[in-house]
Amino acid sequence: MVKIQEAPEPLGVREQQKQATRASILQAALEMFAEKGFEGASIRDIAAKVGVNHALIKYHFEDKESLWKAAVEFLFDRLNEEMTVAPESEEGLSELDRVKNFVRRYVHYCAQHPEHARIMVQASVRDDERLEWATRFIKRSHMVGMTDLKKHVREGIWPNVSHISLIYILVAVCQTFFMLAPEVKRIHGIDPFSKKAIDAHADAIITLFFDHKSED
């Protein structure tokens, strides 16, 4: 019995439960991979965190590698969603103010989802099959940023230096403070995820990059 439909039917309660379990496993996997790395995070610990049997993960994700890939896809899908901005909301703003808004938005994204940087950094320090696979996602987000960045260099917003270095500088300053949150807490005794610290960090970046000139 095949149904032809424009919008998806309301799911059966069993199917709903399935998707909920799948989502819980994915969420637990994100946290575990972020904290312990690919080998350090065990299927069994992820299952235990969700409260299901480890064999169930095979049913939803085939194997550990596939689970990791599903987690990475989820990260970049969410990044695209959350970083997209309605054009109307920026009408009348100068290009510099748009760049500043972008920095604020990205800083907040990094604070809300530190597991993104944690997982991707651990992927990007080793030149293996997983990094090769993830390259398409990283590449896509870099290419989008690169186009804008080159335009902004021409407009004098960024200095005319290596574009590749600039991209990594921008990403690094937004991510690192939150990625290393456990260290920041231990060394400096502050919580990077507090509203105050998040705003102070965005302010620091924007002031240093765009509103500051060193005195000799």
Under the criterion CB under 8 A, does residue 212 sit at the interface with its own copies? Answer: yes
Long-range CB pairs of 119-125 (<8 Å, 24+ gap) are: 119/30, 119/33, 119/34, 119/71, 119/72, 119/75, 120/72, 120/75, 121/179, 122/33, 122/37, 122/38, 123/38, 123/72
Contacts to its own copies from residues 61-120, by CB under 8 A: 94, 96, 118
Applying CB under 8 A, among 48, 52, 56, 171 the residue interacting with its own copies is 171
Output the six-digit token pair for 165: 């270095």
CA-closest candidate to residue 103, choices 162, 150, 170: 170
Q: What are the DSSP E strand ranges found in 34-185?
A: none
Of 83 and 146, CB closest to its own copies: 146
Answer with the entry of DNA, its own copies, none that 151 interacts with (C-beta below 5 to 8 A by kind): none
List the end-to-end C-alpha distance of the chain, in Å, as a whole number. 78
Under the criterion CB under 8 A, does residue 177 sit at the interface with its own copies? Answer: yes
Applying CB under 7 A, among 52, 83, 96, 131 the residue interacting with DNA is 52
Applying CB under 8 A, among 5, 84, 89, 165 the residue interacting with its own copies is 165
Binding interface with its own copies (CB under 8 A) = 34-40, 94, 96, 118, 121-127, 131-132, 135, 138-139, 142, 155-159, 161-162, 164-166, 168-169, 171-173, 175-177, 179-180, 182-188, 190, 197, 200-201, 203-205, 207-216
